[in-house]
C-alpha cells in the first residue's frame, strides 16, 4: 500500500519524519544521531515530504547540542517531555539554547507526557471531563494561545470518533476552540500568539524530578551496547575515513559494502 501512503503523505494528511527512529541520545554517538536524521529525511522525502518538527517526545533526557543538530536540518523547534524540570521552563513554551548560541522554540509537554488526550471515550460527558482537566493543566502554564492535546500514543490505534467528539466538545467550551490538526499547525499558532520574553534554558536535560528518565537502560544488555559502540567506532573512525581517502586517490567508494 505504498502508493496510498505516499499520496496521503504528499497531501499532508499523514506526517512522517524527521527521524528514522527516536534516538536514545546518551547511548549512541553524535554521528549516529545525525545519520538517524539523514536517513529519516531520505525516506520521508521518498514518500513526498518531511515533517520539519523536532518531535522527540520520549527519549530519556536530551543532549545539550540538540538545538545545533536540529537547526542543521532546517528545524527550528522541538517538542519533548523528559529530562527538564517544570521550574526551569516556566511555561509550556520556552527557548532552548545550545552551546554555540543556536536556539530552538521549545515545547515542554505536560507531566503526563505525550498522551494528555489519549483513549477518549465516545461519551461526550466523560470526554469533556477529561479534556477540561487537560486544558486546565495546560492553562496553568500558559505561554501562548495554542494548547496541545495529544490523542495518539504508543501501541494505540486512531480513534475514528475524534472529529465528531471535537465538534460536540466545542459546544461545551465558550472561550476555547478545539481543532483536530497536526504538530505544524500547533507550532505555527503558538509562535503567532506566544508571550514576549520567553524563558531561556541552556545545557543538557538529565533531570528525573518531574518525569522519570529510566537510567537503568544504561546498564541493561550491556553486550548489545558494547557491540553497537564497536560498530560505531569501526564505521565512523576507521572505515569511512579510510574509504574517503582512498576515493580521493582515485579508488571506488565502497558504498554498498559500508
Catalytic residues: 58
Residues 84, 108: contact at Cβ < 8 Å?
yes
CA 159 – CA 88 distance, rounded (Å): 34
CB contact set of 25 (below 8 Å; sequence gap of 6+): 33, 59, 61, 62, 63, 66
Amino acid at each position: 500500500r505504498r502508493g496510498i501512503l505516499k499520496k496521503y503523505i504528499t497531501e499532508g494528511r499523514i506526517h512522517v519524519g524527521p527521524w528514522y527512529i527516536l534516538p536514545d541520545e546518551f547511548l549512541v554517538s553524535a554521528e549516529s544521531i545525525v545519520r538517524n536524521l539523514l536517513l529519516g529525511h531520505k525516506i520521508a522525502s521518498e514518500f513526498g515530504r518531511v515533517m520539519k518538527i523536532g518531535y522527540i517526545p520520549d527519549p530519556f533526557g536530551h543532549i545539550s547540542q540538540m538545538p545545533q543538530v536540529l537547526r542543521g536540518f532546517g528545524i527550528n523547534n522541538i517538542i519533548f517531555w523528559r529530562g527538564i524540570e517544570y521550574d526551569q521552563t516556566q511555561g509550556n513554551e520556552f527557548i532552548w539554547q545550545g552551546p554555540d548560541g543556536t536556539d530552538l522554540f521549545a515545547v515542554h509537554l505536560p507531566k503526563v507526557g505525550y498522551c494528555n488526550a489519549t483513549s477518549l471515550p465516545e461519551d461526550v460527558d466523560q470526554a469533556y471531563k477529561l479534556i477540561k482537566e487537560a486544558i486546565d493543566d495546560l492553562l496553568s502554564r500558559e505561554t501562548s494561545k495554542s494548547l496541545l492535546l495529544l490523542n495518539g500514543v504508543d501501541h494505540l490505534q486512531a480513534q475514528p470518533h475524534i472529529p465528531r467528539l471535537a465538534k460536540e466538545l466545542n459546544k461545551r467550551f465558550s472561550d476555547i476552540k478545539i481543532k483536530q490538526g497536526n504538530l505544524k499547525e500547533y507550532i505555527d499558532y503558538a509562535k503567532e500568539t506566544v508571550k514576549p520574553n520567553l524563558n531561556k534554558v541552556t545545557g543538557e536535560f538529565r533531570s528525573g524530578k518531574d518525569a522519570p528518565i529510566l537510567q537503568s537502560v544504561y546498564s541493561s544488555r550491556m553486550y548489545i551496547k558494547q557491540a553497537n559502540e564497536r560498530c560505531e567506532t569501526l564505521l565512523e573512525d576507521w572505515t569511512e575515513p579510510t574509504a574517503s581517502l582512498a576515493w580521493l586517490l582515485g579508488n571506488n567508494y565502497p558504498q554498498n559494502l559500508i
